[in-house]
Each structure stands twice: as C-alpha cells, then as structure tokens.
Amino acid sequence: MGVDEAEVPVDAVGKRVSCGGERATVRYFGPVPPTAGLWLGVEWDNPDRGKHDGSHEGVQYFTCRHPTGGSFVRPAKVSFGVDYLTAVRQEYKIDSEEVLSEEISISKKKLKWGNIKERGFESLPSVLLSRSDVSWSGADGEIRTTTPNVEWLDLTGTLMSCWEDVATISQQLDRLEGLQLSYNRLRLPPDPSALRHAFSALKVVVLNGCQLTWPQILECAPMWPQLEDLCVEENSITELQRPEGLLQSLKSLSLSSNPLVQDSVLSLSALPRLEQLNLSKTGLSVIQFEDAAPGSHTAAYAALKNLNLDHNSITEWFVVNELAKLPSLVRLSCRGNKLVSRDGNPKTANQMLIAKLGQLVVLNSCEIHADDRRGAELDYIKMFGEEWLKAGGRSQPSPQFICEHPRYQALISKYGAPEEGELRKPEPFALKNQLLKITFVFPDDANRKPLEKKLPASMVVQKVKGLLYRLLKVPAADLRLTYTSPKMVGTEFEIDSDLKTLQFYSIEDGDQVLVRWS
C-alpha cells in the first residue's frame, strides 16, 4: 500500500486510487504551498469522505462535482492498484498448507500441486474481481495464456480508470461474453470505434452506478457491436435520445433508478429487437402511444415482451389501457404504484390489470392461470356493466366508455352480455359495507378461547393491537400478528407493519388472526 513520490505515474491525473478502503480519482499531482513535498489532489467517489472543493488557501488546484468531495493526500497513503493477473492470484489463492503438502484432495482423488498449478486458471469460465484493486492489464499476452476460457468478467468497483485499460484486458479474452463494470469511473475514449475489436463478442454489459448520461452511453455504443443485454441502473440518465443506428441488436435494457424524462421514453422504440425493458423507480406516471386508437396496437416496441414498471407514480387506469396497445407484451410487473380499484382492494386492482391486458401471462412475477383470467374478466364485466348499459352498451357504447374500457366489447363477445342481476352497482363507501368478521386465536395460550370481532377493513394494525392490549393486557409492542385464510389452508401470512390497514393485507371476512406475544 502506498507509493513514493518518485513512483507516482507520470500520467497520474485521471488515474483511480484506493485510500483507507475508499475509492477516488486523482485530479492533481504537485506541490501545495506552504507545505513541503508533493501531494495528490483526489476526488472521492463518496463525497462525505472529502473536505473541500479542490482549493487550498484561496488557490483552486482542481475541481469536484461535490463542494466537499476533494482532499489532498500524500502518495504514501494511496494505492494505484495491481495488474489483472496479480489480482486474479490474490482472489483465487490456494491454501498454503495444501500447497506445501504438494498434493490436494479433490473428490477423494490425490492430485499433485504441480498439476493444479499448471492447469490453474486456464479452466476458469468466470473471473470475479469485484472491489479488487485491479487497474491495468499487465504484460502483453499473459492474460490470453493464463485465463483463456473466461466468458464472464466482473470488475465492479475496481481501480480501472478508462475504457482503453479495460480493452487491453478484454482483447485477450477471446471468449468473453459478459462484462460487469458497475461503480467505476471510466473516462470515455476519444474514438470508441477504435476499441470495437476488443469487445466484439460481448453480449452483456453492466454499468450500474457509473454517473453516466444517456448521450455518453450512446457514445460508447459503437464499441459493442453484438450487445444484447445492457444494464445501466443508478446513473445520471434523464432524457433519452433515439439510438439511431446504435444498439440495434439489444434485447434487454434496464434503466431502473434513473430520473427519466417520461416523454422521452418513446425514443427507445427505435430498438427493433428490444424484448425486455426495466423502467422501475424512474418516476414515470404516464405512458402514451398516440399512433394507436383504443383497443388497437401501436407500432412502437414491436418486440417488447417483458416490462417492469415497479415503484413508479402511475395512478391512472388509462395508462394500463395504453400498455394494452403493446402488441407482444406478455409479462408485466407493476408493483408499488397507486392504481386503486373502487373498493380499494389490491386484489381487485390486480383483477382489473388482468382483464384489461388480454395477452398477459405473468403479472407481478405470478403466472396467470386460465381460471384466474376467466374470473378476473367476468368480474370486470360485472364491475362496469352498469356503466356499459348507461353508455348505450347493448347497441353501441359511447366513445368515452370505449376509451376508458377498450377491451369491454371483446369480453362481451367472449362471455356474453351481463344479466341485470349480475351487475355490480357502485355502492357508497360506507363502514357497514366494509366490516370484516375476524376470529382472533391464541396458539400459545391453550386456555384462552377464540375471540370473534367485526372490524372495518380500513382499520390500521396499530389500532387492532390497541384493541388486543385492552383485552389481553399485553403491551402492543410485544404482540406479533399473522393470519390464515380458508382459501389457502396451511399458509400463514405475516402482518408486519403497524401502519398498514387490514385491507392492505387482503384480510377478508371469515379470516383468522393468530396472536402471539413474547
């Protein structure tokens, strides 16, 4: 650890270093008067580690993204890293006692150390150097002869400082298909196309948390001519420009945890082979395909099969109608949004999603079975039957109804029109309509009889525990609740948040709540 002043690389500025377990980029090397000797001015990956913005006593030596992201450190305190093969040997070292014994037991067979050493790293299909201090390739050609069969390389959070350094490693790995480079700070090459040969076989690239913008990613794209899977989560991606002539072989793209400009999402429809798209935690509230009328298919995202919209700000059901325009969509994840049904029941909201999206086979990671779909679609018909009739349903529904329920007529054709007695008429959101008959049981107290109560579905768990405290004289903080349902015999569900309602946990009339305490 640490280098003498004379050993600091000539091209130190821009290099990555480690210091005290933290990563940083060198922004300055030289004197800092009035102190003696030479200093490294570094910008920390974690700005909380820094002290200033690169200035000292009124002199600006370098600049930082963050006003307290910089520090001056002595060269003896930092490491500029090691070459690839040194890092591999450190990561995959063999136990010294076994080495000294000159034979190793593998599956009850005795093998001489000399044979293992010779075969060593040649058979490795993957090399995982995450958080290691690897920073450069080493002697030319050694990687190709030492780890020739590597298909997956993980360089997460290393000391690699530029794409050229990565290329000197990857160009010696002829079988390399997957490259993990998350949480690095890589300078962009002046001519990305010149590095194309080094990444020509790559199919998967992961660049999470690299402070990249979308234009920078498109700038790098010519380096990856065969890329099929790109993961760029937790970056600085906002507006998405059309990838004209770039990433045309891409099948999977993850943009999760980027603050996207939602109107620019349609730009990605220029990716003709895109099958899987992750837009979770991107702040989306609206997606619209204005080229297609309600109930018809959009020309955008023709190949898209799998879409993740978890933990966004989607509140309007018309967005689901827009998703129904995607011609190939069969898998959707939409958890953590605020799509609410009239009765406020999350299960009803899921039924509406299934009914509105006729091609869907998986919702929120759960397969939609034929009985599930039939039940959801029949309930949907009944749920909105009254509105359908008022909108002139038996002859021709109004344009507004068709806009709000594009699939309704298709469901009528599939199952027939609802009878008057089947219609679910909207009822006032009254307390009497939500009372749940719940039986409280006490599995750890055999002498205590079950207790039956009628409680509103909107009651929060904290108030339920307050009620139990008055009955049991057990502090609410000591109570642990679970519940069972006659619909799923043998399964016990946790009630783990005091601030959620009974309705949130899908507790229904006739369910049983199990009460335990410490």
pLDDT tens column, 325-368 = 999 999 999 999 989 988 888 889 999 999 999 999 999 999 99
Confidence of residue 428 (pLDDT cuts 50, 70, 90): very low
Q: Which domains does the chain have, with CATH numbers?
A: 15-77 (2.30.30.190), 82-91+121-368 (3.80.10.10), 373-415 (no CATH), 435-517 (3.10.20.90)
User: Model confidence over 125-174: pLDDT tens digits?
Assistant: 999 999 999 999 998 899 999 999 999 999 999 999 999 999 999 999 99
In 10 A of CB 95, how many CB atoms? 9
Q: Give the pLDDT of residue 471.
A: 85
pLDDT band at 438 (very low <50, low <70, confident <90, very high): very high
The Cα–Cα gap between 48 and 66 comes to: 9
Q: Is the pLDDT of residue 271 over 70?
A: yes
CB atoms within 10 A of CB 63: 14
For residue 107, what pLDDT is reported? Answer: 35
Among residues 245, 248, 329, the alpha carbon closest in space to that of 287 is found at 329
Say what the pTM is: 0.76
* Distance, CA of 136 to CA of 73 (rounded, Å): 22
SS3 state at 218: helix
Residue 421: its pLDDT value, please?
61
Distance of CA 353 to the CA centre of its chain: 22
Q: Which pLDDT band holds residue 8 (cuts at 50, 70, 90)?
A: confident
Quick one: three-class SS letters along 267-330? HHHHCCCCCEEECCCCCCCCCCCCCCCCCCCCCCCCCCCEEECCCCCCCCCHHHHHHCCCCCCC
List all residues 6 or more positions away from 80 whose beta carbon is below 8 Å from its beta carbon.
3, 8, 9, 12, 15, 16, 17, 135, 159
Looking at residue 342, its pLDDT comes to: 85
Mean pLDDT of 423-445: 70
Asked whether 12 and 29 are in contact (CB, 8 A), the reply is yes
Angle, nearest 10°, between helix axes 346-356 and 370-383? 100
